[in-house]
Structure 1
Amino acid sequence: MSGIFDDFRREFDKSENALVKIILINTVIFLALLLAKVVLTLGESGNAYVWLVDLFRLPASPNEFIYKPWTIITYFFTHEEIFHILFNMLFLYWFGRLVDEYLGAKRMVALYILGGIAGGLIYMGIYNLLPHFQAEVGASRMLGASAAAFSVAVGASTLLPNYTFNLIFLGPIRIKYIAFFYIILSLAQSIGPNAGGNLAHLGGALLGYVFIKLLQSGTDLGRPVYAIMGGWSNLFRRRPTMRVTYREKQVHRSATLYSSAAPSASVEIPDQDEIDAILDKISKSGYESLTKEEKQKLFRASQQK
């Protein structure tokens, strides 16, 4: 058991695996709730389990949300059913790795978080504004990372619409068609028993599309998320040991104590020769042959046009 915890700790100590961290957080919460369900059910305390899960669920009722504002975040890290989390995490991994490779880890995280928030706001909005759903407001609550995963998927599809996935029995399919299929599927299911959840998917999808389009025009919607991530990282960064110099009779701290967190490695805008070399490599070997740095250089160059 200690080996499992050591593996988890090592993954969280790494700086460039944000996608894995998101998947691990979802998995840990799922397993913790599963264990709690077994223990509380055997102890004939089923009501306690419902109360526990409700701490994570996003309520449709504004009156309940006022007392649980954190649920606008926690709901898209929480699952109860094995196939729900399995599908969402696979969907997130397939598309999230593309965003990570081309735009970097912090933008992938921003897409996930902002998509989840957008999906939650859409969910609350439709249940309180559309007459068809208003009768169910008090009893409706949502959990699951579907809206956040849809945001990442549509973001990747907007960024790289002609990138292909090799699907079993279907062969190579462009990801824009995969994303479009799931958007239509969610829209078709918006009048079923999980109508609110499926419409929340569309809120996440819209956020992913807008995020990439604005980024390509020079506006980054993720800046508030980056600022919060930077502050959170600084809060838990190990501080350097104080050094005392008796000769000068004063205490010196390492200069890095007061410096801001080092920004992530940036990719300079390449010159035309570099662009031509990258394009030649794509024509010969395809997008998959590019390194992460080459992909980011190509994206930076496209923003300047």
Structure 2
Amino acid sequence: MSQFQDLKYKFNNLDVFGKIIAVNVIVHIVSFLLRVLKLSGILAYFQLPSGFSDFLWQPWTLLTYGFLHADIWHLLFNMLMLFYLTRVTGNLFRHKMVLNIFFLGIISGGLLYLCIANLWSTNFFDTDRSILLGASAGVSALLMFVGVYMPDSTIRLFNTFTVKWKYIALFFVVIDLVRILLGINQGGYIAHLGGYLLGFYYAKKLQDGTDIGKGFERLADSFMSLFKPKSTLKTVHRKKKTSKSSKTKTEFNTLNKQKQIDTILDKISKSGYESLTAKEKEFLFKAGKD
């Protein structure tokens, strides 16, 4: 029991991205046990089917398929990419915005998969028995977003050499297109393309000052509020007199902080993360934790 409490404590202390990775690992372990127990049929209720009529009976699979993986290597690659990409974006953008990109990428990948499977004139990827699973479309969306919005941001690989994220994004897009043309896991790589398109569009609209994920964010917040326990405590509210000048000062500080963040993000998009001064990096780190 103490081990369970210890694991629960560690889970609760993870950030939201760490919790998503942990949930994916837990789901994979449960999936493995279900297969061992010959109960893998249960998983079909959470995998995205290629048939549109089948999908209409289980629409939730447009999201749940992103938490299931074919094997340990599929899971490991996706979670490693998710870890590094959320470290790049987590300190620069609101965590909810990063989640918007990830989950909208999963949805976009699933929708493109369904469209190709049901509207293409030929059996493009053996759709009679095809299913989709894996978080790759969400990871692809984040990868493309970073490559477009912060083209000169870098990652240090194996502690030996530095690579710009835009080149990593380009590499995977080319590889996925080649695999589709060769007929290798076409359904999965079609979903990747859906994620790339979402990430590209999200980055371009954000550069224009529009966050296209706001509507999805409100919908997700409304859904999650259904599971929050309602407090039975009665609170008495008394309006505290505050001077107009203190309120104005608070608003000014908030506005000034946002302007600083926008200026730094603009600098990153033009010259890359490494161009920031130590003071600017520290400011972004603290802002990301607020």
Q: In the alignment, is the contact (CA less than 8 A) between 1:165 and 1:172 conserved in 2?
A: yes
Q: Give the TM-score of the pair, scaled to structure 2.
A: 0.80
Q: In the alignment, is the contact (CA less than 8 A) between 2:261 and 2:284 conserved in 1?
A: no
Q: Distance in 1 between matches of 2:119 and 2:20?
A: 32
Shift of 1:92: 1.0
Q: In the alignment, is the contact (CA less than 8 A) between 1:126 and 1:133 conserved in 2?
A: no
The alignment-based identity, stated in percent, is: 30
Q: In the alignment, is the contact (CA less than 8 A) between 1:60 and 1:138 conserved in 2?
A: yes
Q: Secondary structure at the match of 1:218?
A: coil
Assess, with a 3 A threshold, how the Cα gap between structure 1 residues 169 and 227 changes in structure 2: closer, same or farther: closer
More contact order relative to length (CA 8 Å, sep ≥ 6): 2
Q: Secondary structure at the match of 1:269?
A: helix
Corresponding residue of 1:11: 11
Within a 5 Å distance, the mapping from 1:284-299 to structure 2 comes to 286-287=275-276, 289=278, 290-291=280-281, 293-294=283-284
Shift of 1:236: 4.2
Q: In the alignment, is the contact (CA less than 8 A) between 1:240 and 1:254 conserved in 2?
A: no
Q: In the alignment, is the contact (CA less than 8 A) between 1:101 and 1:292 conserved in 2?
A: no
RMSD of aligned Cα (Å): 3.2
Corresponding residue of 1:231: 222
Q: Secondary structure at the match of 2:163?
A: strand
Q: Secondary structure at the match of 1:172?
A: strand
Q: Secondary structure at the match of 2:259?
A: coil
Q: In the alignment, is the contact (CA less than 8 A) between 1:116 and 1:148 conserved in 2?
A: yes
Q: Distance in 2 between matches of 1:166 and 1:78?
A: 29
Within a 5 Å distance, the mapping from 1:27-66 to structure 2 comes to 27-38=25-36, 40=37, 46=38, 48-49=39-40, 51-66=41-56
Corresponding residue of 2:166: 176
Q: Are 2:65 and 1:67 equivalent residues in the alignment?
A: no
Shift of 1:101: 1.3
Q: Give the TM-score of the pair, scaled to structure 1.
A: 0.76
Shift of 1:141: 0.6
Assess, with a 3 A threshold, how the Cα gap between structure 1 residues 292 and 80 changes in structure 2: closer, same or farther: farther
Corresponding residue of 2:179: 189
Q: Which consecutive residues of structure 1, in runs of 5 or more, have no partner in the other structure?
A: 41-45, 244-252, 257-264, 298-305
Tell me which amino acid in the other structure corresponds to 2:102.
Y
Within a 5 Å distance, the mapping from 1:1-305 to structure 2 comes to 2-4=2-4, 6-12=6-12, 17-38=15-36, 40=37, 46=38, 48-49=39-40, 51-133=41-123, 136-168=126-158, 171-191=161-181, 192-237=183-228, 239-243=230-234, 253-254=235-236, 267-270=257-260, 286-287=275-276, 289=278, 290-291=280-281, 293-294=283-284
Assess, with a 3 A threshold, how the Cα gap between structure 1 residues 255 and 218 changes in structure 2: closer, same or farther: farther
Q: Distance in 1 between matches of 2:277 and 2:70?
A: 35
Shift of 1:175: 0.7
Matched residue count: 265
Assess, with a 3 A threshold, how the Cα gap between structure 1 residues 169 and 241 changes in structure 2: closer, same or farther: closer
Tell me which amino acid in the other structure corresponds to 1:183.
V
